[in-house]
Amino acid sequence: MRLEKYKKIVKNNEKKEKYLRNSLLAFLGGGTLGVIAQSLIDLYYNVLNFKKDESFALMSITIVFITSILTLFGVYKKVGKIFGAGLFVPTTGFANSLTSASIEGRYEGFILGVGSKAFSLAGSVIFYGISFSIIFLIISQILIFFGVNI
């Protein structure tokens, strides 16, 4: 049988992903997370009187901490499956990838497992995050040198 015919048959049988439903759920999940994050910033800034940049950092730390705890108890997986990209794209997804990989590493011990496997998925976020920060720093410094007001 020709490959084209096979590919046509596969295409005809393709299972449709529920894009609209998934998008709405992601919007809802991501939006709710945004509201929670903003409330945390307000809490740290207005109530607990932290500085603005400290409040932002504390918010991220809180989100990462809660996500890691939820991952540890198997709750995050259930929520993450429902809201998809709404939770996967923000810091929650990063924290989950880190913790889940780390948990998985426990069978191989603390050094070769938990420690080194923690960054198996999250490693590229950190690597490219830092790399591009350096690149942008260099660009901005060059622009400032030539008198561009950033």
Partner 1 sequence: MISTFKFNNVFIISSATVSGPKEKEGPLGNYIDYSYDDVMAGTSSFELGESKMITLAMQLAMQKAHLSNNEIDLIIGGDLTNQISSSSEAVMNFKTSFIGVYGACSTSMLSLINSAIFIESRLANNVVSFASSNYGSAERQFRYPLEYGVKKKETATTTVSGSGAIILSNISSKIKVISGTVGRVCNVEWQNPNDMGSAMAYAAFDTILNHLKNEKMTPEDYDLIVTGDLSEVGSKVLLDLFNEYGIEIRNHVDAGNMIYDKNTQKDVYSGGSGCACLSLVGYGYIFNMMIDKKIKDVLLVGTGCLHSKISAAQKSVIPIIAHAVHLRRVE
Residues near partner 1 (CB under 8 A): 1, 3, 5-7, 9-10, 12-18, 22, 71-72, 74, 76-81, 84-85, 87-88, 93, 96-97, 99-101, 103-104, 107, 121
Q: How far is the CB of 30 from partner 1 (least distance, A)?
A: 13
Nearer to partner 1, 2 or 52 (CB): 2
Residue type (1 letter), 103: I
Tell the burial category of 137 from Cβ atoms under 10 Å away from its Cβ (0-12, 13-18, 19+): exposed
Q: Which is nearer to partner 1, 50 or 116 (CB)?
A: 116
CB of 44 vs partner 1, minimal distance in Å: 26
DSSP 109: -
Closer CB to partner 1, 41 or 85, in the complex: 85
Q: Where are the alpha helices (DSSP H) in the chain?
A: 3-13, 19-42, 52-72, 75-83, 85-88, 91-104, 116-117, 119-145
